[in-house]
Amino acid sequence: MTITDNRISKDHQRSIEEIRKDFPILAREVHGKALVYLDSTASSQKPLAVIEAMDTYYRTYNANIHRGVYAISEEATAAVDKARLKTARFIKARQSKQIIFTRNTTESINLVAYSWGNANIHTGDLIILTEMEHHSNLVPWQLLAERTGARLEFVPVTDDGLLRQDIYAQLLQQGPKLVAFTHMSNVLGTINPAQEMIAQAHAAGAIVLLDAAQSVPHFPVDVQALDVDFLCFSSHKMLGPTGIGVLYGKRDLLEAMPPFMGGGDMIRKVGLRHSTWNDLPWKFEAGTPAIAEAIGLGVAVDYLNELGMEAIMEHEREMTIYAMQQLKTIPEVTIYGPDVSQRGGVISFTLGDIHPHDLASILDQEVGVAIRAGHHCAQPLMERYGLAATARASFYVYTIKEEIDILVQGLRKAQEIFRF
């Protein structure tokens, strides 16, 4: 395993410069300046290998899957099956049939909330969530509670961005049916102690759903070691295309769950008044799937495996350490969340009284830096810190220190504009 200031690789050294050449968009200019993309937490950029694989599908074997006995249909079916197997191996699932393709993390969570939730959650049942959840891991459970009469309780967040594990232990004593929480916060960068929290929840008799949208792309995730019941993530945050996400589930749970949507391909036999359901994973994949997107996801997994997830994690940690050091040199910058030992490659911050939207606009116009500004689909967390919004910079395999220097330059320019 090798990682230095400018190299990242599992088995051999590849310079960051070489890696960046794999991403065509990084050669683009905005407002006459080189694009500095620091919003990978929202959506990552795509390597040429992913773009070309999807293009090749559309150019040479574009056909529906599971429904044709002709050559290109069989090729497309094999490609999607291969992508599913790659995805299963990437997160160390026992079987590829435990990988359900959805549109995104949000749909994966909703699938569980409707299919498992409607069948298993009843009046008075407790669902434990946390204050740091993305809206996609809040709203589906709110809707489930409204449908069933279940109650929601929340693990608080400390001032430094960590979950109150003492309160979590107290809530578990109330016998919850479900615990759902994020593996890594999209706002604070906090990496939660998922394995320990899952074990505690199981000891209390609860099923656990882990929102892994921010973890699977950035560090090794082993669903068997975690012993998690459901795990959800999105392709577009891990170098793959938009429009496809993943739900992993333990097989016994998935087998027992009713379908989420009805239609073609999710059925075994259909009559006018009654139907029976297909095997896993197709029971949960009604209609024509995102074929090109699945193929793109499979190639993204190949790319990440080539670099090595441990090396990616170390590279992001190095970028995060450097960014936090540089940001702290700027007067009036406030950084939210834990120290680097407990955070991933995400930094949310404010700069004096400058509204984050104004800050993001200045960075875009003046120095070509793309960051996210707003509540980051986590309004309750913003309220916890008494904020309307923050600015957020996030890093990935293609981030270099020079881009962080440009971010800092842009922040100083913003101070000049607002006459700090």
Rounded CA separation 91/239 (Å): 16
Interhelix angle for 401-417 vs 356-367, to 10°?
Answer: 110
Rounded CA separation 36/153 (Å): 40
Same domain, 329 and 359: yes
Same domain, 225 and 347: no
Model pLDDT for residues 337-368, shown as the tens digit of each residue: 999 999 999 999 999 999 999 999 999 999 99
Letter for the amino acid at 250? K
| The token pair that represents 415 in the structure block | 């101070």
Domain boundary among 305, 338, 370: 305
Catalytic member of 164, 377, 380, 418: 377
Domain boundary among 286, 305, 324: 305
Same domain, 226 and 148: yes
Predicted pLDDT at 12: 46
Predicted pLDDT at 9: 54
Predicted pLDDT at 8: 59
Same domain, 320 and 187: no
Return the C-alpha torsion angle 402, 408, 409, 410, nearest 10: 110
Picking from 187, 243, 247, 262, the residue whose alpha carbon sits closest to that of residue 216 is 247
Same domain, 238 and 96: yes
Same domain, 167 and 102: yes
Residue 127 contacts residue 150 (beta carbons within 8 Å): yes
Tokens 């950035």, residue? 218
Same domain, 56 and 92: yes
Predicted pLDDT at 1: 26
Q: Is 262 left (phi over 0), alpha (psi -120 to 50) or beta?
A: beta
232 in active site: no
153 burial via Cβ count (<10 Å: 0-12, 13-18, 19+): middle
Same domain, 271 and 412: no
Enclosing domain of residue 246: 51-305
Same domain, 116 and 217: yes
Instruction: Find the CATH number of the domain harbouring 362.
Output: 3.90.1150.10
Q: From first to last of the 420 residues of the chain, give the pLDDT tens digit.
A: 233 344 555 444 678 999 999 999 999 999 999 999 999 999 999 999 999 999 999 999 999 998 888 999 999 999 999 999 999 999 999 999 999 999 999 999 999 999 999 999 999 999 999 999 999 999 999 999 999 999 999 999 999 999 999 999 999 999 999 999 999 999 999 999 999 999 999 999 999 999 999 999 999 999 999 999 999 999 999 999 999 999 999 999 999 999 999 998 888 898 999 998 889 999 999 999 999 999 999 999 999 999 999 999 999 999 999 999 999 999 999 999 999 999 999 999 999 999 999 999 999 999 999 999 999 999 999 999 999 999 999 999 999 999 999 999 999 999 999 875
Same domain, 232 and 336: no
What is the number of structural domains in the chain? 2
Domain boundary among 305, 340, 372: 305
Q: Is 49 left (phi over 0), alpha (psi -120 to 50) or beta?
A: alpha
| The token pair that represents 240 in the structure block | 């793959």
Instruction: Find the CATH number of the domain harbouring 251.
Output: 3.40.640.10
Picking from 97, 58, 88, 25, the residue whose alpha carbon sits closest to that of residue 296 is 58
Same domain, 37 and 87: no
Same domain, 312 and 301: no
